[in-house]
Amino acid sequence: TKDYDGKYLVLPSGELHIRDVGPEDGYKSYQCRTKHRLTGETRLSATKGRLVITEPVGVKAPTFSSETSISSLKRQAGSSLVLLCQAQAFPVPMIRWYKFIDGTTRKQAVQM
């Protein structure tokens, strides 16, 4: 995905990413709307979502909310791909991606 300075980002999967969640975000309702690319028909989700914001208590080591193992992904050349690193911690963890150098066990940091 692109770098963004705003508070909200809709991922290619349709998920809503909210940056720097704070108490003010708990006062809002969230609802999604879809639009058919060919017919232009729009639909609104039947339910609204609301965040429950809690204050952090102490320090929490990073945990991963998804333990999906990805060993190989196939995409057409020129297409985009989003890899998620869904980690939670307090304070917010720094995330760094690495790629393995072909034919070796050495890894190299991905430059953003």
Answer whether 31's CB lies under 8 Å from 49's CB: yes
Q: Average pLDDT across each block of 10 residues of the chain; the chain has 112 residues. List them in order.
A: 70 86 89 92 92 82 67 79 78 84 83 72
Q: Is the pTM of this model over 0.85?
A: no
Q: What are φ and ψ of residue 24, in 5° steps? A: -65, -25
Domains identified in the chain, total number: 1
Question: Has residue 1 been placed in a domain?
Answer: no
Question: Has residue 40 been placed in a domain?
Answer: yes
CATH number at residue 84: 2.60.40
Distances (CA, A) of 22 to 26, 85, 92: 7, 21, 13
- With CA atoms as reference, report the closest residue to 65 among 110, 31, 15, 108: 15
